[in-house]
């Protein structure tokens, strides 16, 4: 398996294009030459958009979806190798290069296999069929009598290779969506735990992350952000930088302020020493009253995600009621390596290297900000530190573009400092959920209603910080088509359970305090948190076992099978919550949570075992049992890796994470004020994968995140009889919940 990183700086200057390839081991690969006269197609309905076979029979896959540290590269390579019948080491992958890879929309929502991978499978199957037909004609053997071994098509005593058939040429074929694909039972590469070939170079310091990428003549840029988000830059005293070695320029455009220096350390020192004055600005809500602010925010529109029966009437008629409000804090992406990009401008042509999860989208944004035609911008993806949503990579690219332009187009590398990342990456927005249910005299749930308060369009491109600060007038970014499903954030607010009357509504809010983008499992995480906790509240209210209660309201055989498997994996013992024995200081509890993800039909359930110390309010999560069904699995070990990662990351968000801010800006600007889970706090994760080789593959990763907060909250209820309805579950909140439940011992029936 090969990895290509394009460094095609000279494409437009020389009229020739050169792709320099680095293997993971940095051994030089022969350069792949192309000529600008036959520019590679990036059309997403063309086989040539996704695949090429060179004269040596080497296959290159061109993927618009990119590997954000998830192992996607390996899985996509497996899919292509399998469907083309070539060995893995014949297949290389180029990702996220706007001149080479089709626009498949941003890499998000765990859709890269489900959508991106399936497109590559279709392209490969279309190519394979064409190759077999060509071989049949050339060999004079019936297509049905041919077989393929590692790119060699054989029939009787004759054979011909892919290279001989198309090597170096193009297919010029539309992708056939209905092309027959291989029978999964015959797979030898897909469905196997292929080791990730990026790992040897990553563990030995040989891998080139975006943060490591360097080109000749490159200068170093850093940004100086306003002290308050909406502050005006009033003055800059450039003499404060006298004596900084290597300083080239202080760059000011509107409220955008940055420096360029010959060395990275010079640039960092310049940002520390530069004297600038900013106006006051206090436009953020008061953190202590955040939820009042959210509740008072103007609602742009309502989206009804489920409407069954007549919940208003049923609630009115119900003899017993239960209601609760859940909230989920503002989170930061928190990539370990701050965002980084390199931009160079040559004769008006912009080349941008970044770890953007959507290079085609970034290209449109850069073209608009820099006021150049789209054709003059070339964006190339280079894998960076893991990212879990649209973090700051695109913004760093915008910064680098302005800085490069200010120094005559010389290549400028911008890496954000930690405070830039914590302070200015777009945030996971605050979400508030109201729930109510009606219960009849027999303990039956007759009505369920919920209202979610969520920001509006989560799929629109987030503007570049540099464009906003430099006051570049907003240019509408025309997207060729809407990627993904705009309902992705809200659809899961509908519940997977059958009650006779249900109404779930998402109030789409006009604004939210910070520039926002979603962090892992957008919306679905918050929806599942509220829904799965409230289901647990209902089970406790009617005195049912939480697992039984779910099963008895689940009309979905695949989901029911998953829950049964979870019960046996976790050795679930039937019981009601809370447990009786909660007089000790440290009390154990166990909670369950379940979700059917959207838009992927991935099913996931979890049981969390926890201990909570009633004196300190500290929750210790000992283990998570997870059963996960994402249909066909391409790389089982890769899926397990994703599940473990999502459980641990989301546990961190659940127990610890909350953005801090004052009226002007973010104040949690580093890891001491925005702590994340550390090794001593990490639980065991025990996973069972349901493999359905003949089913369609669906998303893996984010679905596992969605079940975490409710499993923990429900376990705390099991242990102590108190409900945690506000993420993060800090010790202070646990203590407050214990205290208030002591004052108000049980919910009125």
Pair of tokens at residue 406: 């200010």
Binding mask 365-404 for another protein (x = CB under 8 A): ------------------xxxxxx----------------
The tally of CA atoms less than 13 A away on the side-chain side of residue 138 is 17
Residue length of the chain: 749
- Dihedral of the CA atoms 356, 527, 593, 71 (nearest 10)? -10
Rule CB under 8 A: say whether 418 interacts with another protein. Answer: yes
One residue of 102, 116, 258, 266 binding another protein per CB under 8 A: 266
Q: Are 88 and 189 in contact (CB under 8 A)?
A: yes
Q: Are 509 and 453 in contact (CB under 8 A)?
A: yes
Site for ligand FES in 386-405 (CB under 6 A): 386
Q: Which stretch binds another protein (CB under 8 A): 12-20, 100-108, 207-215, 364-372?
A: 207-215
| Cα–chain center distance at 315 | 38
Q: How far is the CB of 706 from ligand FES (least distance, A)?
A: 20
User: Left if phi > 0, otherwise alpha if psi is -120 to 50, otherwise beta: which for 151?
Assistant: left
Rounded Cα gap, residues 287 and 663, in angstroms: 8
> Is it true that the peptide bond before 464 is cis, omega within 30 degrees of 0?
no
Site for another protein in 213-232 (CB under 8 A): 214
Closest residue by beta carbon to ligand FES: 386
Rule CB under 6 A: say whether 199 interacts with ligand FES. Answer: no
One residue of 49, 64, 69, 522 binding ligand FES per CB under 6 A: 69
The residue to which tokens 């004055």 are assigned: 277
Name which of 74 and 126 has its Cβ closer to another protein: 74
Name which of 134 and 687 has its Cβ closer to another protein: 687
The item of another protein, ligand FES, none sharing an interface with residue 672, based on CB under 5 to 8 Å by kind, is: another protein
Please, what is the Cα angle at 205 between 203 and 210, to 5 degrees? 110
Mention every residue, 6+ apart, whose C-beta is less than 8 A from residue 745.
none
3-state SS of 393-405 is: HHHHHHHHHHHHH
Burial of 736 (0-12, 13-18, 19+ CB in 10 A): middle
Site for ligand FES in 357-386 (CB under 6 A): 386
Q: How far is the CB of 386 from ligand FES (least distance, A)?
A: 4
Site for another protein in 310-349 (CB under 8 A): 334-338
Mention every residue, 6+ apart, whose C-beta is less than 8 A from residue 370.
350, 377, 401, 405
One residue of 188, 485, 510, 671 binding another protein per CB under 8 A: 671
Q: Which stretch binds another protein (CB under 8 A): 266-274, 322-330, 477-485, 529-537?
A: 266-274
Name which of 339 and 531 has its Cβ closer to another protein: 339
Rule CB under 6 A: say whether 336 interacts with ligand FES. Answer: yes
Rule CB under 8 A: say whether 620 interacts with another protein. Answer: no
3-state SS of 551-616 is: HHCECCHHHHHHHHHHHHHCCCCCCCCCCCCCCCCEEEEEEEEEEECCCCCCEEEEEEEEEEECCC
Rounded Cα gap, residues 537 and 111, in angstroms: 32
Specify the pairing of strand 340-346 against strand 412-415. Answer: antiparallel
Count of residues that bind another protein according to CB under 8 A: 66
Binding mask 631-660 for another protein (x = CB under 8 A): ------x---xx-xxxxxx--x--------
Name which of 69 and 703 has its Cβ closer to ligand FES: 69
Pair of tokens at residue 379: 């964006």
Rule CB under 6 A: say whether 631 interacts with ligand FES. Answer: no
The residue to which tokens 């004269």 are assigned: 55
Q: Are 366 and 359 in contact (CB under 8 A)?
A: no
The item of another protein, ligand FES, none sharing an interface with residue 203, based on CB under 5 to 8 Å by kind, is: another protein
Site for another protein in 178-197 (CB under 8 A): 195-196
Q: How far is the CB of 333 from another protein (least distance, A)?
A: 8
Query: Which residues contribute to the site for another protein (CB under 8 A)?
Result: 24-25, 68-71, 195-196, 198-209, 211-212, 214, 245-246, 263-266, 268-269, 334-338, 383-388, 415, 417-418, 637, 641-642, 644-649, 652, 670-672, 676-680, 682, 684-685
Applying CB under 6 A, the residues found at the interface with ligand FES are: 69, 336, 386
């Amino acid at each position: 398996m090969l990895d290509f990183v394009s460094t095609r700086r000279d494409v437009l200057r020389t009229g020739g294009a050169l792709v320099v390839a680095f293997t993971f081991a940095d051994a030089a690969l022969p350069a792949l030459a192309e000529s600008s006269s036959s520019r590679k197609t990036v059309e997403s309905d063309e086989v040539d958009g996704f695949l090429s076979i060179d004269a040596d029979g080497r296959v290159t896959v061109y993927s618009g979806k990119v590997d954000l540290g998830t192992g996607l590269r390996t899985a996509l390579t497996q899919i292509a190798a399998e469907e083309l019948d070539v060995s893995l080491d014949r297949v290389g992958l180029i990702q996220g290069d706007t001149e080479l890879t089709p626009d498949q929309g941003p890499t998000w929502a765990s859709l890269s296999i489900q959508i991106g991978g399936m497109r590559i499978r279709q392209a490969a199957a279309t190519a394979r069929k064409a190759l077999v037909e060509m071989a049949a004609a050339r060999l004079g053997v019936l297509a049905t009598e041919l077989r393929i071994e590692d790119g060699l098509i054989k029939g009787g005593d004759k054979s011909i290779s892919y290279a001989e058939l198309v090597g170096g040429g193009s297919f010029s074929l539309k992708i056939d969506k209905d092309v027959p694909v291989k029978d999964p039972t015959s797979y030898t590469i897909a469905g196997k735990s292929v080791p990730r070939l990026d790992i040897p170079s990553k563990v030995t310091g040989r891998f080139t992350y975006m943060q490591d990428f360097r080109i000749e003549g490159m200068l170093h840029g850093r940004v100086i952000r306003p002290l308050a988000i909406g502050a005006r830059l009033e003055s800059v005293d450039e003499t404060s930088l006298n004596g900084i070695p290597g300083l080239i320029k202080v760059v000011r455009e509107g409220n955008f302020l940055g420096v360029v220096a010959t060395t990275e350390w010079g640039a960092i020192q310049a940002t520390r020493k530069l004297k600038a004055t900013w106006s006051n600005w206090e436009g953020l809500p008061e953190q202590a009253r955040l939820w009042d602010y959210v509740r008072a925010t103007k609602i742009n529109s309502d989206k009804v995600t489920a409407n069954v029966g007549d919940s208003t009437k049923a609630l009115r008629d119900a003899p017993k009621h239960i209601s609760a409000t859940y909230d989920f804090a503002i989170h930061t992406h928190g990539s370990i390596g701050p965002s980084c990009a390199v931009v160079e401008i040559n004769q008006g042509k912009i080349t941008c290297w970044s770890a953007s999860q959507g290079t085609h989208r970034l290209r449109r944004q850069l073209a608009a900000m820099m006021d150049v035609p789209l054709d003059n911008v070339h964006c190339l993806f280079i894998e960076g530190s893991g990212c879990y949503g649209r973090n700051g990579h695109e913004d760093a690219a915008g910064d680098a573009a302005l800085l490069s332009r200010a120094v005559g187009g010389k290549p400028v590398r911008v890496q954000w400092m930690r405070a830039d990342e914590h302070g200015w990456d777009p945030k996971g927005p605050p979400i508030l959920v109201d729930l109510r249910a009606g219960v009849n005299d027999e303990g039956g749930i007759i009505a369920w209603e919920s209202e979610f308060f969520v920001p509006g369009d989560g799929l629109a491109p987030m503007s570049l910080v540099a464009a906003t600060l430099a006051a570049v007038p907003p240019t509408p970014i025309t997207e060729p088509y809407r990627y993904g499903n705009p309902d992705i954030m809200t659809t899961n607010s509908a519940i997977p359970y059958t009650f006779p009357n249900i109404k779930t509504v998402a109030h789409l809010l006009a604004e939210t305090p910070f520039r926002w983008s979603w962090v892992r499992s957008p919306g679905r995480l918050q929806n599942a948190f509220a829904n799965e906790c409230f289901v647990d509240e209902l089970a406790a209210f009617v005195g049912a076992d939480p697992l039984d209660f779910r099963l008895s309201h689940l009309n979905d055989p695949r989901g029911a099978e998953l829950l049964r498997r979870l019960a046996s994996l976790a050795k679930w013992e039937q019981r009601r919550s809370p447990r009786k024995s909660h007089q000790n200081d440290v009390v154990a509890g166990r909670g369950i949570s379940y979700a059917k993800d959207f838009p992927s039909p991935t099913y996931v359930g979890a049981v969390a075992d926890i201990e909570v110390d009633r004196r300190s309010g500290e929750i210790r999560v000992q283990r998570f049992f997870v059963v996960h069904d994402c249909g066909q699995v391409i790389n089982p070990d890769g899926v397990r890796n994703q599940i473990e990662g999502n459980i641990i990351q989301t546990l961190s968000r659940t127990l610890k994470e909350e953005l801090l801010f004052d009226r002007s800006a973010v104040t949690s600007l580093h890891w001491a004020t925005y702590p994340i889970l550390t090794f001593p706090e990490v639980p065991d994760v025990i996973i069972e994968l349901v493999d359905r080789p003949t089913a369609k593959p669906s998303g893996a990763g984010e679905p596992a995140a969605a079940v975490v907060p409710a499993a923990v909250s429900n376990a705390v209820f099991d242990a102590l009889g108190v409900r945690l309805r506000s993420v993060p579950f800090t010790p202070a909140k646990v203590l407050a919940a214990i205290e208030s439940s002591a004052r108000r011992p049980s919910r009125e029936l």
